[in-house]
Amino acid sequence: MKALVINGKNEPLSLETRDEPRTGEGEAIVKIHAAALNHRDLWIQKGMYAGLRYPIIPGSDGAGLLIGSDKPVIINPSINWGDKPGHQDQQSFRILGLPDDGTFAEYVKVPASNIVEKPAHLSFEEAAALPLAGLTAYRAVFIRAQVREREKVLITGIGGGVALFALQFALAAGAQVYVTTSDGEKMRDALSMGARDAVNYKDDNWAQELQELAGSFDVIIDGAGGDGMNMLMNLASPGGRLVFYGATRGNPSNVEVRRIFWKQLNILGSTMGSPEDFDAMVAFVNRHHIRPIVDRVFPLAEGEAAMRHMDESRQFGKIVLKVL
């Protein structure tokens, strides 16, 4: 089969011919029609991820046909979550695409329990864009933050896959959603999707602008971390829930603890999601006819160009690889 392979740190994705995977007990094989990129793939390519091994076929997101039944399916990339709803098992848990070979290939092998029916209203390209980012956003918004109708929600860094799904999910739940980005075009796109307002986080007074627009926020969903965290805690309403699902800007150099206890804040870490979260996410997407935002589709052979496109952070939505 054809597959994209990373052969070492900072090596480009290389299109190679590999043996097709063979199933063992409890496993399934999907003939991939479309895959999607995640920042995780980029970190793996850059050698900045725990448990690296090369060569590896990366890719956590895929949609295609289940071998043996020809049913259109998507893959839940959250493997061996374990039996606790509150957290993944820290030993057995892994994300598809490292250490197991991933979806940037014509075929991928996964546990049969990670196969879920493809939402009928989505093309394979759209469906491939859903799993990892949709799951992460769903858990952040509904399981961790428990966003409710009419609540004020701030989502930072709109344009990324998780942030966009969080926007779509929170809007579908009836929340009033505000976003930040550093890109004027992304601001306009987010407003056209239904965001109440958008602020440029590169403005010196971005936090003050948000305060003037919204007062304070019941819920804040952030994947950046860094020194912005203190401002986010300032922008949170008393009793507010702040969910952090990433730290692309690193750690904060200071955290105002008094603000945490006096405002009775809830600072909630979130990553990926349980099988129940995945099923609930797909059901929500079906019920609300949510369509993932696809930024651009590349043919499989242009995987390296797709990676470089993601590395430039210009995308609004998911970057998809068309495999078939």
Nearer to a copy of itself, 138 or 244 (CB): 244
Cβ atoms 111, 266 nearer than 8 A: no
Cα–Cα distance measured from residue 167 to residue 178, given in angstroms and rounded to the nearest whole number: 9
From the list 260, 280, 301, 305, which residue makes contact with a copy of itself (rule: CB under 8 A)? 260
Tell me the per-residue interface mask from 70 to 89 with a copy of itself, x by CB under 8 A, - otherwise: --------------x-xxx-
- CB contact burial 120-144 (16+ within 10 A = b; e otherwise): eebbbbbbbbbbbbbbbbbbbbbbb
Answer yes or no whether residue 279 interacts with a copy of itself by CB under 8 A: no
From the list 138, 206, 244, 316, which residue makes contact with a copy of itself (rule: CB under 8 A)? 244
From the list 19, 25, 26, 257, which residue makes contact with a copy of itself (rule: CB under 8 A)? 257
Q: Is the dihedral of CA 41, 144, 292, 324 positive or negative?
A: positive
Cα separations (Å) of 234 from 225, 228, 237, 238, 253? 14, 10, 8, 10, 16
- For residue 95, the minimal CB distance to a copy of itself (Å) is 11
Look up residue 257 and give its amino acid. V
Nearer to a copy of itself, 15 or 268 (CB): 268
Tokens of 133: 């980012």
Answer yes or no whether residue 265 interacts with a copy of itself by CB under 8 A: yes
Q: How far is CA 143 from the centre of its chain?
A: 15
Segment 138 to 177, residues that bind a copy of itself, using CB under 8 A:
none
Answer yes or no whether residue 253 interacts with a copy of itself by CB under 8 A: yes
Q: Which stretch binds a copy of itself (CB under 8 A): 174-182, 246-254, 283-291, 312-320?
A: 246-254
* Three-class DSSP category at 117: strand
From the list 10, 17, 90, 192, which residue makes contact with a copy of itself (rule: CB under 8 A)? 90
- Residue ranges binding a copy of itself (CB under 8 A): 84, 86-88, 90, 225, 229, 238-239, 244-247, 250-271
